[in-house]
């Protein structure tokens, strides 16, 4: 299995909702990442997990809460989002942080209404 | 922040013409750099990494430390090469903020 799988593919949520994005990889990668990508822009790093521990939070608002239950799974919990948070949320993994390139998931297209 | 820059937002060439997508980096040390490609409606995928010195889909990229560049080249562009290309550093795990290039949209015309 050489893929990163993200669910759901699309999500529409209200500003008072709570939802979660899920990401799974079975490549044995020990680094996992959440990125946010706006249209026609490069991905922006949000969180990095290394060996299931959060190693960086790139000044992301607390309404985004990551979780890494095990080495294969990565979640992003969403609560009280704003319309400007609408974007494509990408999960990626790599062998280790700084080693090898990323394998990206296809993303979750999030719309906040 | 340590960043890479891609000076061209859009590059348009004809099929069969050579293509070069420019990337320059501004950080010190021994950089590791990647090219990623995003075809329309497809996921972002790794195209090349400078360490491997391989050729993928006819593309090559050489790290030039003197010019701090990592340009992506292909001698004969194909229509299927039309996509968005990003030059990117890895996350190095040491709290350095590493910023991707803004991307170059390559259009190969028939």
Task: Please determine, for residue B2, whether its predicted confidence score (pLDDT) is greater than 90.
Answer: no
pLDDT in tens, A2-39: 799 999 999 999 999 999 999 999 999 999 999 999 99
Work out the pLDDT band at A77, boundaries 50, 70, 90. Answer: very high
Q: Name the minimum distance, in Å, from the CA of A18 to any CA of chain B.
A: 26
Q: CA quadruple B45, B50, B56, B60: dihedral positive or negative? A: positive
Structure token pair of residue A57: 């939070």
What are the start-end ranges of the E strands in chain B? Answer: 2-5, 10-14, 19-21, 24-25, 34-38, 45-49, 60-61, 72-74, 83-88, 98-99, 104-109
Looking at beta carbons, which residues of chain B come within 8 Å of A48?
91, 93
Q: Is B10 on the interface with A (CB under 8 A)?
A: no
Cβ proximity of A36 and A42 under 8 Å: no
**Confidence (pLDDT) at B94:** 57
Q: Residues A112, A85, A44, CA angle at the centre, nearest 5°?
A: 145
Flag if B43 and A94 touch (Cβ within 8 Å).
Answer: no
CA nearest B86 in A: which residue?
Answer: A42
Average pLDDT, integer, range B76-96: 83
**Confidence (pLDDT) at B1:** 61
**Confidence (pLDDT) at B54:** 77
Flag if B102 and A43 touch (Cβ within 8 Å).
Answer: no
Query: How much of chain A exceeds pLDDT 70, in percent?
Result: 98
Flag if B44 and A43 touch (Cβ within 8 Å).
Answer: yes
Of B88, B93, B100, the CB nearest to A98: B93
**Confidence (pLDDT) at B8:** 95
Work out the pLDDT band at B103, boundaries 50, 70, 90. Answer: very high
pLDDT in tens, B22-41: 999 887 666 678 899 999 98
CA A61 to chain centre: 14
Distances from the Cα of A67 to the Cαs of A53, A90, A113, in angstroms? 9, 15, 24
């Amino acid at each position: 299995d050489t893929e990163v799988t993200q669910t759901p593919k699309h999500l529409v949520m209200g500003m008072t909702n709570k939802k979660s994005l899920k990401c799974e990889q079975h490549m044995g990668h020990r680094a996992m990442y959440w990125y946010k990508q706006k249209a026609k822009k490069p991905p922006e790093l949000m969180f990095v997990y290394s060996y299931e521990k959060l190693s960086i939070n790139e000044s992301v608002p607390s309404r985004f809460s990551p979780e890494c239950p095990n080495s294969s799974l990565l979640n992003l919990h969403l609560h009280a989002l704003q319309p400007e948070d609408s974007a494509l949320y990408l999960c990626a993994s790599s062998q280790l942080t700084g080693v090898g390139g990323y394998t990206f998931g296809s993303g979750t297209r999030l719309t906040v209404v | 922040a340590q960043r890479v820059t891609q000076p061209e937002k859009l590059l348009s060439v004809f099929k069969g013409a050579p293509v070069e997508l420019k990337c320059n980096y501004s950080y010190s040390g021994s950089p590791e750099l990647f090219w990623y490609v995003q075809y329309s409606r497809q996921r972002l995928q790794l195209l090349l990494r400078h360490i491997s010195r391989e050729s993928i889909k006819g593309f090559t990229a050489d790290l030039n430390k003197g010019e701090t560049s990592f340009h992506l080249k292909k001698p004969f562009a194909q229509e299927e090469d039309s996509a968005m290309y990003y030059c990117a550093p890895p996350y190095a795990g040491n709290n350095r903020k590493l910023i991707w290039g803004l991307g170059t949209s390559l259009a190969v015309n028939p």
